[in-house]
Amino acid sequence: MKLRLVTLAGDGIGPEVTRQAMRVLHAVAAVTGLKVDIAEHPIGAAGLKAAGVPLPEPTLAACLAADAVYLGAVGDPAYDAQPPHLRPEAGLLALRTALGGFANLRPAVAFEPLLDVTPLRPERVRGADILVVRELLGGLYFAEPRGYSPARDVAFNTLQYSVAEVERVARVAFESARSRRRLVTSVDKANVLETSRLWRETVIRVGADYPDVTLKHMYVDACAMRLAIAPTEFDVILTDNLFGDILSDEAAVVSGSLGLLPSATLGGKVALYEPVHGSAPDIAGKDIANPIGAIGCVALLLRHTAHMPREADAVDAAVREVLAHGLRTADVARPGEHAATTTEVGAAIERAVVDALERHWSYHGV
Ligand code: IPM
Ligand code: MG
């Protein structure tokens, strides 16, 4: 198979973590014979600098013609005062809409070797394995009307969901639960919001098609607390766009760092892979950012687009192996411990993946 991939390294730490993710992908390709054709394009502040807009036309056209898109990060405080359509984030939101992926999968696992660095108590976090399924194309982020009043004394956004929007993302959550622990926790604010009532009624109806999956409901405020107190209670968390944005950052605390989380956006014309972290301008260009979220995106890409589950598992296993050996970037290093660079961690994961795959391939004589 030939994989046509567009990479959008973007802003801040985006380019440096993307470099490590692509070295791992190239290594997998070299061992397995997977052909990868990569085209790089600007987005976000990089798009604004190159073409005056956060999502330049050639970038969008290339993404729509690809098998998958990988995005590093967008965001640059230099554009904070710009109107919304000229901010870097507008490029990402427009890209998500154009690609059409509505289900954003954000796995967050407790890495055993990192239990000593999570701010949560290790005995509470051990074994946590959560998949946040975030609705990505609707809700407060996109619904109209929205605006800032001309007098600038009022601003407003609209929270709206249709049954169809909830149904399609709910199906992804139930399907995902079938290959996991068969529990979906649907998170809403149905005690206050009409949209949440529609959300809950729809999820219950879809859930009836999945009698083998247990469905629970939780208010978002309670969920925010339970995630910190008892993260092992969760399997799949199904929630809307804004709640999913917030809860997935919180789920990162269970893993140990926001830098560890990858995501896959499925259901549209072209799949989109992006780490959950932002552009982290304060540490950009220093080779200290954690590349594991970005490398985790390669595992998700191999699993969901290239349909190479064994190679995806090998990437995930290599990440665990390197963490277990104590090679850690500053965000997950123990206090006083020497921190590894972005490049060192990427190189070590690449080596571990190649070793594992070569062992497997020579074993099978392929
Ligand atoms: C995320 C990010 C984005 C979002 C920003 C950069 C627009 O926070 O992917 O979680 O809010 O969706
Ligand atoms: Mg976010």
Contacts of residue 78, Cβ cutoff 8 Å, sequence gap at least 6: 45
Together in a domain, 312 and 249: no
The β-bridge relationship of strands 183-188 and 236-239 is: parallel
Q: Which atom of ligand 1 is nearest to the CA of 89?
A: 7
Is 202 part of any domain?
yes
162-184 pLDDT tens trace: 999 999 999 999 999 999 999 99
Please report which ligand is nearest the Cα atom of 241: 1
| The last residue of a domain, from among 188, 222, 255 | 255
Q: Which domain holds residue 242?
A: 118-255
30-68 pLDDT tens trace: 999 999 999 999 999 999 999 999 999 999 999 999 999
Q: Is the CB of 113 under 6 A from ligand 1?
A: no
Reading across the β-sheet that carries 236-239, which strands appear in turn?
35-40, 2-10, 68-73, 271-273, 264-266, 103-109, 129-135, 236-239, 183-188, 214-219
Residue 20: the pLDDT is 98
Residue 16: the pLDDT is 98
Whole-angstrom distance, CA of residue 281 vs CA of residue 75: 8
Q: Which residues is 264 bridged to in the sheet?
A: 105, 273
Q: Sorting pLDDT into bands at 50, 70 and 90, what band is 359? A: confident
Report, as residue numbers or ranges, the catalytic residues: 141, 189, 221, 245, 249
pTM of the shown model:
0.96
CA of 191 to the centre of ligand 1 (A): 26
| The last residue of a domain, from among 190, 220, 255 | 255
Is 313 part of any domain?
yes
Which of 327, 310, 302 lies closest to 22, judged by CA? 302
Whole-angstrom distance, CA of residue 323 vs CA of residue 157: 42
Q: Is the CB of 276 under 6 A from ligand 1?
A: yes
Together in a domain, 251 and 279: no
Rounded percentage of the chain residues whose pLDDT exceeds 90: 94
Q: What CATH number is associated with residue 210?
A: 3.40.718.10
Residue 365 has pLDDT above 70, yes or no: no
Rg (CA), the chain: 20
Residue 215: the pLDDT is 98
CA of 46 to the centre of ligand 1 (A): 17
For ligand 1, atom 9, name the residue with the nearest CA. Answer: 276
Is 186 part of any domain?
yes
What does the H/E/C string look like for 176-208?
A: HHHCCCCEEEEEECCCCCHHHHHHHHHHHHHHC
Q: Is 164 exposed, middle or buried (0-12, 13-18, 19+ CB in 10 A)?
A: exposed
Overall domain count for the chain: 2
CA of 356 to the centre of ligand 2 (A): 33
Please report which ligand is nearest the Cα atom of 262: 1
From 118-122, 127-131, 198-202, 209-213, the region with the lowest mean pLDDT:
118-122
The β-bridge relationship of strands 147-148 and 155-156 is: antiparallel
CA of 174 to the centre of ligand 2 (A): 23
Helix (H, G, I), strand (E, B) or coil at 301: helix
| The last residue of a domain, from among 211, 232, 255 | 255
For ligand 1, atom 11, name the residue with the nearest CA. Answer: 245
Residue 266: the pLDDT is 98
